[in-house]
Amino acid sequence: MAKFYRKLAVLAKIETVYGTDAVPTGVANAIQLNNATITPLAGDQASRDLMLPYLGQQGVILVGTYAQMSGQVEIAGAGAAGDVPGYGVLLRACGLAETVTAATDVQYDPISAAFEAVTLYFNHDGRRHILLGARGNVSIDLTPKQIPHFTFTFTGMLGTIADSALPSVDYTAFQIPVPVNKANTTLSLHGISSIAESLQLDLANQVEPRFLIGDENIQLVDRNPSGTAVVEAQALGTVNWFSIAQAQTRGVLAAQHGTVAGNIVKFGAPAVSIGRPTEGQTQKIINFSLPLMLNTDAGDDELKITVM
């Protein structure tokens, strides 16, 4: 019987014991994704390289096998200020700590220890892949006339691959997004309100599968947050991105998407420096592409995501 590509259920739940199946359910742990993909058997291979009296293929042995999953989640709020968004579990597994302030907001901040991990179920029309001890990376895309997205990429220890019926799922934790535009989205960079063609941010986590004698795990070993802002050119008297880049001056980035409580997401970075600006054009209007380096200020504060 044919398997249908668009029939997919992804479940995610934080593990209390690393690498032990947290048993997510469709009712409590469903993740609403698009552009989802899986690499079922990632890893390396070892060639036997036997020296024999004849030539020919000898095959390989698969070693250090793990699985990878990626997908996009629409950037939107949680339905009410202080509610945890449905994608919060994924942010936690990307090295971000979750702080809930009742009836106010939920904040996600980088950490440098005690990283959490998730169990992921990727059920593609009845074929279920289980990833254990999964950790990952998240990037952010705000482009006008588009639905904004988080893009997640996870690496996990290989669990089972088996036939399993698609679960019943509850997506009520995921809100309908609003498009990126003047009415819904604002951006300030170095204190300047910017007319922007796009903003892209990347936590840039380095995630490493570790296969050793006595232990196998997925480690989050580093991060190097960065991004790109494409902004409409302004008079140098208003903002001189060239001198800011040359001086490596650090300034604040503040972006907000959404205007109604329960469907607002903010992105903040306190110490952003600018790389080498490049000039371009869109619709014959001059723009600058600004490489962004999201630096630490007091530590573990390069990027804050606030859901309100």
Give the pLDDT score at 235. 94
Please, what's the b/e burial string for 246-266 (b: 16 or more CB within 10 A of its CB; e: otherwise)?
eeeebbebbbbbbeeebbbbb
Give me the pLDDT at residue 249, please.
98
Indicate the SS3 state at residue 241.
Answer: helix
- Residue 99's pLDDT is 98
| 259 φψ region: left (φ > 0), alpha (ψ -120 to 50), beta (else) | alpha
Torsion 210-17-222-112 (CA) sign: negative
Question: What's the rounded Cα separation, in Å, for the pair 152 and 140?
Answer: 9
pLDDT value at position 121?
A: 98
Going from the first residue of the chain to its last (308 residues), give the mean pLDDT of each consecutive group of 10, the final group possibly shorter.
93 98 98 97 94 94 97 97 97 98 97 98 98 98 98 98 97 97 98 96 98 97 98 95 98 98 97 98 97 97 98
Distances in Å between the Cα of 30 and the Cα atoms of 64, 68, 173 are: 29, 18, 9
The pTM of this model reads 0.96
**Cα–Cα dist 117/15, whole Å:** 6
For β-strands 278-282 and 226-232, DSSP reports them as unpaired
Give the pLDDT score at 1: 84
Residue 42's nearest CA partner among 67, 63, 62, 69 is 67
pLDDT given for residue 92 in this prediction: 98
